[in-house]
Amino acid sequence: MSTEPSGKNASLLYGLLYGAANIAFTVILYLGGVKMFMSPVAYLGILIPIVFAVLTAAQQKKIQGGYLEFADALKHVFKAMVVGLALSMVFEYVLFNYIDVPFNQALNQATAQELEKKLQGSMSQEKIDEMVEKIGNIDKYSLKVQSLTFAIRCIVHFVLALIVAAIMQKKRPMFENSFNQ
């Protein structure tokens, strides 16, 4: 009995692994506190979907004997991305709305302060205060905002899936075995 995942299972497996990696990264940032959550280290999280998109396409290519049509690659990579994204966003929603609400509030406050620092000198203090107040009133981890964020991130992940599918595709030759006989 083989332990290799089938085509459908590969997407689900790599989606679950992607979600787990995202959750682990979020936990690491969370344990580092608000400063770490907002530091340049957080941008390393951009590498996680890229790695899992490539791994998903490579596994699918292996399953199909070294060949992978563009449409198949796109379908499997995007499916894995959506599964992982959904898992990580549900985790973030629960973490910031039920497990540690004060951390969510501290994060919103730190975001507003960071925005205020960046805008100093570029506009009047009155405009800055108005923007900071608006930003401070938005709960980034509310269900409404998370739904919109999920939709936007799905679009971004679809673009990633397009790029990976274009790079990883390998068409099966039309007359693969016709002259080998």
pLDDT means per 10 residues, the chain with 181 residues, are 63 96 97 93 95 96 92 96 96 94 89 82 80 77 90 97 95 67 49
Which pLDDT score is estimated for 52? 97
> What is the reported pLDDT for 34?
93
Q: What is the pLDDT of residue 135?
A: 75
92-121 burial, b if ≥16 CB within 10 A, otherwise e?
bbebbeeeeeebbeebbeebbeeebeebee
Residues 165 and 77 sit within 8 Å (Cβ to Cβ): yes
How far, CA to CA in Å, does 131 sit from each of 111, 114, 121, 149, 179?
12, 12, 14, 20, 70
pLDDT for residue 19: 97
Output the pTM of the full model. Answer: 0.85
Instruction: Report pLDDT for 1.
Output: 46
